[in-house]
Amino acid sequence: MERILVSACLMGRKVRFDGRAKTSSDAILARWREEGRLVVFCPEVEGGLPIPRPAAEIEGGAGGAAVLSGAARVLAADGSDVTAEFLAGAQAALARARSFGVRLAVLKEGSPSCGSLAIHDGTFQGRRTPGDGVTAALFELNGIRVFSEDRLAEAEEYLRQ
């Protein structure tokens, strides 16, 4: 049975920056959970960040690949640099995914770790820009396909292939 790494907040765990969850009620995700396929993980918490914590964004909305290459940082709303924690969390997520043979991940859209289509632009003004988060970028660089919680039908089709 193929395993799928999924953002912990989508599974009801209160791990987000604001101490909340973003629980998904999608039937596909529910079925995968019942089948025992899910590897639940939060890269930000595993990287050492507390709950709750200040919101964080990638400077300039540069995207996860820029953080991985050292060309951009992840900054918290209080001005602190949390790049090291985001990088550590991404590496921990990759290690966990590899340990389960994961080739597909369902990650929370918009997150500076997990976003796969859009992230916040780094201004803390609520604006989004096309791009991906640090963990999502690392996964894609290592052959793990990333889908947002809104693309579960596509993810399921990818598993069938």
Domain limits, the chain: 4-160
Q: Band of the pLDDT at 84, cuts 50, 70, 90?
A: very high
Q: Band of the pLDDT at 130, cuts 50, 70, 90?
A: very high
Averaged pLDDT, 13-38 = 97
Q: Which pair of structure tokens corresponds to residue 79?
A: 């001005």
pLDDT digits (tens, 9 = 90+) for 32-56: 999 999 999 999 999 999 999 999 9
Q: Which pair of structure tokens corresponds to residue 62?
A: 């540069």
Q: What is the end-to-end Cα distance of the chain in Å, rounded? A: 14
Verdict on whether the full-model pTM lies above 0.85: yes
For residue 61, pLDDT beyond 90: no
For residue 75, pLDDT beyond 90: yes
Q: Which pair of structure tokens corresponds to residue 44?
A: 């930000």
Q: In the predicted model, what is the mean pLDDT of the chain?
A: 97
Q: In Å, what is the CA distance from 53 to each residue of 17, 106, 115?
A: 5, 23, 18
- The pLDDT, as a whole number, for residue 137 is 98
